[in-house]
Amino acid sequence: MSSRIPAVFATSLWVGHGGLASYGPDYHAEGVQAARLVAKILRGARAGELPVEGADKIDLAVNLKTASVLGLAVPRKILLRADTIRR
């Protein structure tokens, strides 16, 4: 926190380490999605015939402690949309 520069990351891991916010895919959900596709292949589906799938869930995480240290007010609209709020 010594540089006091707000940073937004692609994964919520960094919000837990002091990052201001993150907006990116839920890696657990992506793992479950990948496992489902692998199970289809193991049951005999051809990989080339499976549909291309994107992330089903995008997570927004906000660190209120970091926002406070930086003197930033997080709008209520953002907090209502956030999947994770660190206090």
Query: pTM (2 decimals)?
Result: 0.74
Lowest pLDDT segment from 1-5, 37-41, 51-55: 1-5
pLDDT given for residue 5 in this prediction: 81
pLDDT tier for residue 22 given thresholds of 50, 70 and 90: very high
Give the three-state DSSP class for 4.
coil
pLDDT tier for residue 2 given thresholds of 50, 70 and 90: low
Nearest to 30 by CA among 50, 65, 54, 47: 54
Contact 59, 22 (CB under 8 A): yes
pLDDT given for residue 28 in this prediction: 85
Residue 1 has pLDDT above 60, yes or no: no
Contact 59, 8 (CB under 8 A): no
